[in-house]
Chains A and B, each alone.
Chain A
Amino acid sequence: MAFVPVDAVGLEERAAVLATRSIKRDAKVAGLRLAIGCMDLTTLEGKDTPERVNQLCRKAQEPDPADPLVPPVAAVCVYPNLVTSAKAALQGSPVQVASVATAFPSGQSPLRAKLEEVHAALEAGADEIDMVIDRGAFLAGRYHEVAAEIAAVRATCSNAVLKVILETGELGTYDAVRRASWIAMEAGADFIKTSTGKIAPAATLPVALEMLLAARDFEQMTGRVVGVKVAGGIRTAKQALQYLVLVKETRGEARLHPRFFRIGASSLIDDALMQLAKERTGAYQALEYFPKD
């Protein structure tokens, strides 16, 4: 079960069929609200400032002031240096602060430095840590090293939620995606996450499907439920709904919850809000009507 082979053709076909699900009207509205509730609203740029993060946090708590039925997002995801600002801005709100760490996005630093970074992010108040795996070690076949590093971060995290980024765009095959997923889950990940968003291809439907299947098998074998986070390149409401379909039809509706599923994105929320407004009013409105933060 752990390392069963993956047939690329079959996996891609299944993902393509699921992508043809027709999500209309009530299902679309409910799905988009769900997608927003599962969202890690993200800004990971060198030019990020405390003010920018502040604005993002406002939006995270109340994505559409005109529509009270739109829930707050699950988390705001930032670099460690901006955790303090995010934490302050989100004081008293249910929105979590997630911080990337472990030499994001490449992971090419000594373990000591990585753990130090995780420690700093947690000290600043991060509720969740998004770490990257050492792809160099993974691709060289040093799987134990990868596992040990995740376990070390896990130990440092104590009660914080740990998301392990596999950076599937660098892994090359679906077999490798499954193997990396399994290593991360065994080493104690709370979420396995597709991508950093800094590498193309980032999240794809087949990759997400394989990770969901791996998480489902892991749950079946161990009883422990690991979540899946898709991130990178998800910009449209339609894409977000396709990922929700994958979750629903592989793990069941019980896993359609921010505890088990996240979408990491920055601009997706604007398209989702625009689609929701369209369903509410019957007409599309220009993007200018949606605040861009």
Chain B
Amino acid sequence: MARYRKTLRRKKGGTTLATASRASAQPASRLPAVAGAAWPYASAPEAHELFLPAARYELFVGGRWTKPKSGRYFQTIDPSTEEPLTQVANAGAADVDAAVRAARTAYERYWRRCPGSTRAKYLYRIARSITERSRELAVLESLDTGKPIREARDFDIPLAAAHFFYYAGWADKLAWAFPGKTPSPLGIAGQVIPWNFPLLMAAWKIAPALACGNTVVLKPAETTPITALILAEIIQQADLPDGVVNIITGGPDTGQSLVTHPGVDKIAFTGSTEVGKAIARECARLRRPVTLELGGKAANIIFDDAPIDQAVEGIINGIFFNQGHVCCAGSRLLVQEPVLETVVQKLDQRMQTLRIGPPLDKNTDIGAINSKAQLQKIRELVRSGDDAGRPRYETRCDLPDRGYWFRPTFFTNVALSDRIAREEIFGPVLSVMSFRTPDEAVDKANNTPYGLSAGVWSDKGSKNFKVTAQLQAGVVWANTFNKFDPSSPFGGYKESGFGREGGVHGLAPYLQR
């Protein structure tokens, strides 16, 4: 806070746009100077009493709920209150083995020979069930992750359903997707997903795998297993043949057992670059096909001819969406010098209007950090920004007493060599830098080991096309950010991974061609 005040003082010392132009005389107002009334929003919690999680969840293996052979369970908590949510089975090596065997049986006996139109029928059923149970899924997603209900309701759940609808459409048209080839499934897909978009990531993984005729063993993240388990319920109710989808919960050991299990034909992983590299090593050793969707440190580039207010919205959305727990978050902001001061001022002003609080409140913009470990990591990196002496701006609102919370924050005058400019923070922290020419912007944007996404803001179409083509990133947005559609491929360059998910490209990693 002290640092923030210091920043404010420094700002007052300089010439700002406002002070510079106030000199031009304007007629004094004919109206009295008055202040409006305070108008706080009343709390508006989403009704959730009907949708609380079960007391305990077992493993979903071979179409049945089975107790873990390990006999162990772990607790998941609501990160916004630290209250326990439910008990979840911890799958050991024997459970992973059982799941892979179930997947193998389902693959050999039924699924690989089942007509594409039949696979499509099941996928459509799953998609419809997700839509029908969307409120329940949104509430549980919000409870489990700490994300605002508004985002779970308007983004996670509808997009998860959209992926199933989309890939259902491809299931009987694979030959048209790859003309001249005869695509066939790979077999058993082992899939490990992260905690930032639990149901959506499950959909990204399961939908294309099933459409292509593979069977699946999916491991959701340790801190956010609930919606994947509800998806298991949905899959059971959709009458999918036993063992086509198996969902096993657990920690890193469970993931390790799955990745190295001899019965698995393909690995798909979304998560940290560190774990991704370890998985890549294992898969190289085992000669196992693998796709990785890893970290990012995306640059958002704002030119001086950009639509500034919408760009500021885009930056806010790009870095603070889902508390910054987004691999494609726009965590570096490159601003052309003539508009730097304006953008920083507007960014601060807009950031102060963000509503941080109970995730289930329909008016909450920013929820809780997903775990204590993540909160510590964010704090550590922010400290490194402070230590480097970078001016810090943050929201001034009150935070709840319990739970894991972090104020939306940005640093200015950041150097490319700073840790906050190089390392993925995976939290609501933005690093602002400036540039003068388009070439410099491209240079700085590409100066990162990552390459998942990027954004360009300019009202000039030709400039957008020229700059976006030079950015080494799997997804580049122009005059928008964080836009997703099942028909659009998503994936990384460099240390952000390889392979694409979404679109016709998302079929390729699950097929022999």
Contacts and interface: CB of A to CB of B under 8 A. Distances in A.
A288 interface: no
Interface string B37-65: 11111101000000000000000000000
Contacts of A220: 17-18, 345
A9 B362 contact: no
B395 interface: no
Given A9-B480, A221-B18, A30 B307 contact: no
Give the one of B27, B35, B38 with max A CB within 10 A.
B35
B39 A225 contact: no
A1 B479 CA distance: 18
A161 B40 CA distance: 29
Interface string A66-95: 000000000000000000000000000000
Given A22-B363, A222-B24, A34 B37 contact: yes
Interface stretch (B190-198, B309-317, B329-337): B309-317
Interface stretch (A47-55, A142-150, A248-256): A248-256
A21 interface: yes
B385 to A, nearest CB: 28
B306 interface: yes
A27 B39 contact: yes
A249 B313 contact: no
A22 B44 contact: yes
B306 A24 contact: no
A10 B18 contact: no
Contacts of A31: 39
A14 B37 contact: no
B353 interface: yes
A110 interface: no
Interface in B331-378: 342, 345, 353, 362-363
B22 interface: yes
Contact of B36 (A24, A222, A254): A254
B32 A221 contact: no
A221 B307 CA distance: 18
Interface in A264-278: none
Contacts of A23: 41-42, 44
B310 A6 contact: yes
Contact of A256 (B36, B309, B311): B36
A27 B40 contact: yes
B39 A1 contact: no
Given A20-B150, A222-B22, A244 B39 contact: yes
A161 B34 contact: no
A175 to B, nearest CB: 9
Interface string A18-50: 001111111110110010000000000000000
A260 B36 contact: yes
Interface string B118-148: 0000000000000000000000000000000
A260 B41 CA distance: 20
Nearest to B41: A27
B221 interface: no
Interface residues of A, number: 44
Given A221-B18, A221-B21, A5 B306 contact: yes
Contacts of B345: 220
Contacts of B39: 27, 30-31, 34, 244, 248, 253, 256
Contacts of A259: 31-32, 34
Given A28-B42, A248-B39, A6 B307 contact: yes
A133 B285 CA distance: 74
Interface string B199-219: 000000000000000000000
A257 interface: yes
A276 B95 CA distance: 59
B24 A22 contact: no
A191 to B, nearest CB: 10
A223 B26 contact: yes
A176 interface: no
B479 A10 contact: yes
B30 A159 contact: yes
B353 A249 contact: yes
B308 interface: yes
Nearest to A219: B18
Nearest to B44: A22
A244 B41 CA distance: 11
Given A6-B307, A14-B310, A249-B353, A222 B21 contact: yes
A213 B459 CA distance: 18
B87 to A, nearest CB: 33
Contacts of A27: 39-42
Given A190-B30, A249-B353, A11 B24 contact: no
A24 B44 CA distance: 7
B309 to A, nearest CB: 5
A149 to B, nearest CB: 17
A213 B31 CA distance: 21
A222 B307 CA distance: 21
6 contacts: A20-B154, A27-B41, A30-B37, A190-B31, A223-B18, A253-B36
Given A10-B479, A34-B39, A257-B37, 14 more contacts: A10-B313, A11-B310, A20-B154, A21-B362, A22-B362, A23-B44, A24-B42, A30-B37, A34-B37, A188-B27, A222-B21, A222-B26, A223-B18, A255-B36
Q: Which 8 A-B pairs have the closest CB atoms?
A: A10-B310, A256-B36, A257-B36, A22-B44, A7-B307, A5-B459, A7-B310, A22-B362
Interface of B: 17-18, 21-22, 24, 26-27, 29-42, 44, 150, 154, 305-311, 313-314, 342, 345, 353, 362-363, 459, 479-480
